[in-house]
Structure 1
Amino acid sequence: MRTRAVAMGLLLFVLSVAAIPAEQLESVNSIEDTTVTWEGNATPTLVYEGILSDPQDVDNISLADAPGMVHFIQLVHADEPLNIEVREDGFTHGQAEANQTTFLSSGRGNPMWIAISNADFSSPNAYRILVHSNAADEDVALVEQTASGYIHELDNRGDRIYFLTGGNAEIQMQWSGNPETEFTGHLTHFPSELVTPLEFDMNAGNMTLIVPPVDSRHAWYEISITAQTQSNTGSWSIARSIVSHADGGCHHDCPDFIHENTLQSGAHPIENTRWENRGWLSENDTVDVYPIFIPGEIWETHRVIANLADGANAKMQLQSWNNSGTYLTPLDVAHGDLTVGLNMTPGYHILKVIRADGASGTNAYDLNIQTVNMTPEDAEPFEGEMVDRWKEFIPFYIAVGALLLAPLGYVLWSSRGIALDNEVQAHERGRLKRLRERIMRLIESNAEQFEIDSALQMLEEIQWRATIAEMGEANLSHHTESMTLKAWRIGGRNLLVGIHVESDSWELAALRFVATDGPSWKLSKVSPVSLFDGDEIFLDTLEAGSTRFIQLELEGTAAGLDLQLSGLVDGKPLAAIPARALLMDDD
């Protein structure tokens, strides 16, 4: 009898437990983060608080079931571990037993809910859960605050985040996503639509990007970033800040150079008024170019005056351009520190603001430009029809020019022999001096082979007499009627050898370095690249009238060396050997 009573009691207890329904929780608060720009319309984070009072207690939280909905669920606190499950009709998205955990789940259009129950009940268990849900799937314009969004597991296109900027902008970007999120990016120039890829190697990181300069104040760049997953639910967050200062009147930095193809489209119109602007200069941005347009008739004269406020740490260059020809061309220029002025005709002109020498850091400048029409009232031209007949005078100009130049031509023709042989052009000397310094620097710095080869080739193209005059006294020389051989020491064991053939080509030519007072020399490097063996370089054919320069590096400890040039001249063996040796230990 007692056994039957106990059995009946247990049965009633089980039936009573099975009949306990799950409690449906409602949010007790909501949190709105105004510092984040959400994809689509911003949605609040809902706060749920509950308590499991006995072992059989179960709580449910209903989730929005709109198509494309993504839910971010955070169990932020529980007194004791909970059993928490994210369910949808016929499917379980996730399950955990913990005091704190998170879920990121994509809805499939069916009713969804969170089931909360005890894992191991010992006392009433209080907990707090945050739920943020968002179904937006659209492009996000990134502004000065962080942008965030979710990627549904069925969204194979991903989310696009973009923003616009101008040239020379220094931008710092930070991005993050869950492990399944991948980022790709592109930098697109407008209006050319030239695309440059951006590298995002990980699902979280940061970078500093220097945007390339632009050629017009109307040009700009679009930075586009795409967040994607491979059939997984994803989250992303991106922030950017533009560190550098922007110039007024441009998308960011005004052009650094004068671009004739965009001068007209990028000009600021100024007509008998004052135009004001603020700009910035720094170590990475030393010039700002401002094209201006002055309306009016071509026969008018306008005074253009540009001013910089005190403390600008900049100077100005005002350029007047000729607008009457087929193409725009520079006509006149004026320089000034705080003020500069110039008379101009109507049309397109240029003002350059240049960073002052010795300036440091980033400096702002306040610029104003004003124009005044200086044209007298009686300066208006003839109002009848004017005919341009300059082409009819071209034959006359040609005839007069030929007549005036005839005596000069006779003098040049009569003195062409010796004058042409001995003349060394001033510009050629300057070029040679720069080449000599460049070759010395390349050899001493152990530069790349192609750089030395290029410099030597350029040296061969210069007149031989100019070369030996500007290269300085050679350490070793040998001269005959048909050829000249010279050698210069260039630090350590480096030599520069020059060979000039006046007449009669040398075939199968070879240059040998014979050691004196010591072991044999060995060639370790030859420029330009030539076939060599031990102490001998094979030069092939030296044509008549040609010049050959060779830079080489020797290995050895001998006190000096003899240079021997050998080859076939008119089919006969011939050798050229200087009378003395080149001393390698002579400082």
Structure 2
Amino acid sequence: MRGYRALLISIALVVITPSLQSEELEINIVDLEEVGDSPNYLWGSSGAGPEWHRISDSNGTYLGNFGLNDSIDIIAINVSSDNWTVVGFSIKPEGNVTISIQRLDQINWAIVEFANESDGEIELDDGIHAIRIERLGGYGEELEYRFTISNRGLVDVEGRFVDLAWRFMPFYIFAGVFLISPLILVLWWNRHNFIGNSKKSLIIDEHEKGTLIKLKMRFVDESDSSEDQDKIRSSLKVLSEESWESVIMEFGDPEVRHLTDGLEVCAWRFKGRSRSVLVGIKNQTEEWKMAAIRFFSPLGRDIPIESVEPKMMFQGDEVFIGDLKEHTTVFLRVMISGAPSNINIHISGMVGGNPVAATPRNSLSYESE
């Protein structure tokens, strides 16, 4: 009799035990369909409203379902801890759905970090974060999924570095304004100089243009009066390196232009009866010593020089310019006599103790006049 009772008790335990275990497994399962489908987008600046289902960071398994036209569920997870918490997660069935937990900025709700493994973990700070569950296939039919959240304890903060740069932002702003304020003050004090220089440059350009126009007219007139000669002389002295491009613009492209060893030579002639030749010499590199320029005819005819402005030594067909410092520009007007059909130019001097000479290919032609 006792053996029979023991057998009945054993059978009862075998039947009851699986039932108890099944109830324990279902204790923490929550059916998400009870609160309706979760939105498929992350909440905005107003925060997570009641339409987003909210769960805690405690251990639990949750059951959800995708409808026929549903593929994404966004769920809010609330982390309540003064320190960072390690939250583990997993999802089933694997391959058909994916899960990712997104750590959010608690001010603007921007995604700062995320983890999207099928079985992984992420460190979350205190606040509300997001769980994103997405269907990978099986569209057009309902799909049930189950995910598990596990609280794996606090993060060991010993030896960890925390970015506190945001706390120094007011100091950075103050330091920037403090360091740049002297420059702003200096610019304010000198504002008239900057404005004045631009106005002065415009005045110089207009004055230079007027000088070139008058100079061109006097070259054509070939007046021998002392007053005109003085004006030509002073005008040529006014022209400098900055006037080089202005002269080319006003007088046109030079009939002779040659560049050798950093020395540029240009020559203009004037239409009509004028036998005036304007020669510009621009030295861009080393100093030329004992520089001279000679005028000759390719046909062998003599081309005597009558005068040179500004005053320079000349003899026969050669003008002695002297030393040309580097980065200097010289303009001279040469009056020639006779009626040669073509005039060539030969320039010579000493550079670095070595004699240098050059003859441009082009010549000043008077054949058509």
TM-score range (shorter-chain normalised) is 0.3 to 0.5
Task: State the TM-score, normalizing by the size of structure 2.
Answer: 0.43
| Greater share of residues in strand | 1
Q: Which has the higher contact order (CA 8 A, sep 6+)?
A: 2
Higher helix proportion (structure 1 or 2): 2
Considering only CA atoms, is the larger Rg found in Structure 1 or Structure 2?
A: 2
